[in-house]
Amino acid sequence: MHLYEVLRRPLVTEKTTLLQEQNRYAFEVARKAAKPQIKEAVEAAFKVKVAKVNVMTVPGKMKRIGRRQVLTPSWKKAVVTLEPGGKIEFFEGV
C-alpha cells in the first residue's frame, strides 16, 4: 500500500480539537493500514516525528432509508501522538 493511500481524511470534531492541545491528531485511515504504515504516512505527509499511534475500528450504524434499514460501513480511525514540540499546521485555525 502506498503511503498516500493510508491517510483518507483528517477528523475535525470537538473531541479531536481538544486532543490537539495534547499533540494528538485524528485521521480516518485505510482499513488494511497497520500502525507502522500510519506512522510513516503521517511523518512523510506533514514532516513531523510521531511518538505513538492508537488505532480503532469504528463500527457502522443502522440507518433508515425509507422502509429499509441499512448498515453503514465500518471504518478505521487512528489517533496519532506527536513528539513534544511537533505541530501539524494543517489543523491550525479550523
pLDDT digits (tens, 9 = 90+) for 37-91: 999 999 999 999 999 999 999 999 999 999 999 999 999 999 999 999 888 887 7
Count structural domains, the chain.
1
Question: What's the pLDDT at 50?
Answer: 96
Evaluate whether residue 9 is within a structural domain: yes
Domain assignment present for residue 94? The answer is no
Task: State the alpha helices, DSSP H only, in the chain.
Answer: 3-6, 14-19, 35-46
Domain with 45 in it: what CATH number?
Answer: 3.30.70.330
Domain residues for 34? 3-83
Q: Which three cell numbers stand for residue 72?
A: 453503514
Three-state secondary-structure class, residue 33: coil
Is residue 41 one of the residues assigned to a domain? yes
Name the band, by pLDDT with cuts 50, 70 and 90, for residue 93. Answer: low
β-partners of residue 9 are 28
Query: What pLDDT is recorded for position 87?
Result: 87
